[in-house]
Structure formats: C-alpha cells, structure tokens
Structure 1
Amino acid sequence: MTQAPEAVRDGCIFCAIVAQRAEASMVYEDDITVVFMDINPATPGHLLVVPRRHAVGLEDLDGETSVHVWSVGHQMARAVRRSGLRCDGINLFVADGTVAFQEVLHFHLHVIPRFAGDGFVIQADWKARDRLLLDADAEALRGALLRGTD
C-alpha cells in the first residue's frame, strides 16, 4: 500500500514522509492518504491527514482526493475520541495558503483533540456584516460555483 506518489516535490517534507525518506509516527495509510502524528502538536494526539500526491492547497486537489481526505479525517476524529487520549472535542482545520498560516505547502488536514485549558485558541475580530454585503458575497460565490469546481 505504500506506493510512491505520482507527483513528489523535492524539498517537501510531506512528500519525503510519503516516500518513506523521512521519519513519521504513522497512524494510518491507504492508496490515497497517509496519517501521522504532528511533530509540533497543538495538543497530544494531533494528527495530519496528507494526500500521497503533492498538492499545495485545496484548489490543487481533485474531487476524489478531497472527499477521501475528509472521510479519513472523520475516521481519525472518531479514533481519537475512542483512544483514551484526552479529548472532549475535535477541531478539523485546514490552512490553505501562507496568509492562512499554512507552513508546509503540501495540503493537509489537521485533526486536533481539544479539552478545556489546552492552550489552543482561534481568535478573530468577529463582527456582524451588513445583509446587503452578505447578499453580494453570496452572489459572487454562486457565480463561481456556476463556473465549475474542478
């Protein structure tokens, strides 16, 4: 099951892990994804679901791989809850682009066990948005959907 990916990027640590040229604490593998422990976890049990084929971000993933990554993420979240590791909740998190805090430019889904006082925070300047602006944003997004997703 550990076939080499068709698209491997030199210098990509996740491609090196997929190709077994770098160490990782592997949890799960199939023909499309690998799952391993994050070396710098937000909390104990923090996992990364990584497609074998190199893709920088969401826009670079084909639909089948995207669906599979999220399905495996769901399986991993269930496993974390059943594992005995401290887990009162789960965050599934994707950072798509450096401005969104993506550090490794190979798409990955974080599965992060959560518990009160774990130190992981997501902060934003949450503000209500005017309905006319929301409607304009919705129109732009509907137009993008009509232009296709793949």
Structure 2
Amino acid sequence: MTCIFCQIIKREQPASFIYEDDLVVAFLDVYPINEGHVLITTKRHEEKFCNLTENEVSHLFKVGQKILKAIHVSDIKCEGANLFLSDGPIAGQEVMHSHLHIAPRFEGDGHEVGFSHSDSELYTRNHLDTIANKIKKHIFCAVRAQY
C-alpha cells in the first residue's frame, strides 16, 4: 500500500505547501477542522511517533510553533489552536505516517476537540503513583526501543 504523505512529499500527489526543509514538510489538510488546518510530517516515512528520532520530534514541534505564529499574524481566523498527533489507529490515526496537526480554533466554530472528564473516573493518588512508577522504571530503556 502506498503512503499518501510519501506521495505528497515526492510531488506525486498535489498539496498546498506551507513549509519544507530537509526533515519535514507542511501542507494544508484537505479535510480541515477550520481554514488554516496544517499537517506537518517528517520526510522519512515512519508510522509511529515513538520511532521518530529525537531530532525529528524536536524539529516537528519547532516548525509547528513557527507555523502557528504565522497563522496568528495572518488574516486567518484563529483565537486559539489545537495541536495534536494521533499515534496508531486506535488513537484515530488515519494516515500511517506520523504527523502533527495544527488546527486554528475560534469561538462558535462548531467543532469539539478534547477530552471530557465527565466520562473518566477520578484516580486516587496511590493509583496514579503506581502508574507513574510503571512508566518511570522503563523510561531510559524505552529510548532505543522500536515499536
């Protein structure tokens, strides 16, 4: 199966480009939440965020910040923004090439993006500490792992 983002990067598919350098490319989403919804992806094909290099991750977010600043000073309606990345199909990832969304938001735009605390249970501090320890004890060995 061919990756649509790889095709866009190679100019085999059309896109409205915002930014490009050696590591990343940014273009407008064809199914935007609002006008100015940008996708930033690495040029190297990688499905999972956790398998990107530290340099790719850092650069992805630095470019994201620059693009969001540009949106704010443009005439695109933007009172705030959602920056999000879905990692894996269960998390809503539709294109299996890791990418960051920057979606301008404004009052009354009709979109709801976020988490509802009303559907979540409040965990005890003891339970939260147990979960934190499970993650902490694997954080250094996970740096080199591939998933």
The reply to whether TM is greater than 0.5 is yes
In structure 1, the residue matched to 2:47 is: 56
Which SS does the other structure have where 1:54 is aligned? coil
In structure 1, the residue matched to 2:111 is: 120
Matches within 5 A, 1:137-148: 137-148=131-142
Aligned CA RMSD, in angstroms, stands at: 1.2
Matches within 5 A, 1:47-126: 47-121=38-112, 122-124=114-116, 125-126=119-120
Runs of 4+ in 1 over 3 A off after TM superposition: none
Gaps of 5+ in 2: none
Which SS does the other structure have where 1:28 is aligned? strand
Decide which of 122, 130, 133 is 2:124's aligned counterpart.
Answer: 130
Decide which of 8, 11, 16 is 2:2's aligned counterpart.
Answer: 11
Measured after TM superposition, the shift of residue 132 of structure 1 is 1.1
Q: How many residues align?
A: 141
Which TM-score applies when normalising by structure 2? 0.91
Which SS does the other structure have where 2:19 is aligned? strand
Measured after TM superposition, the shift of residue 147 of structure 1 is 1.6
Which TM-score applies when normalising by structure 1? 0.90
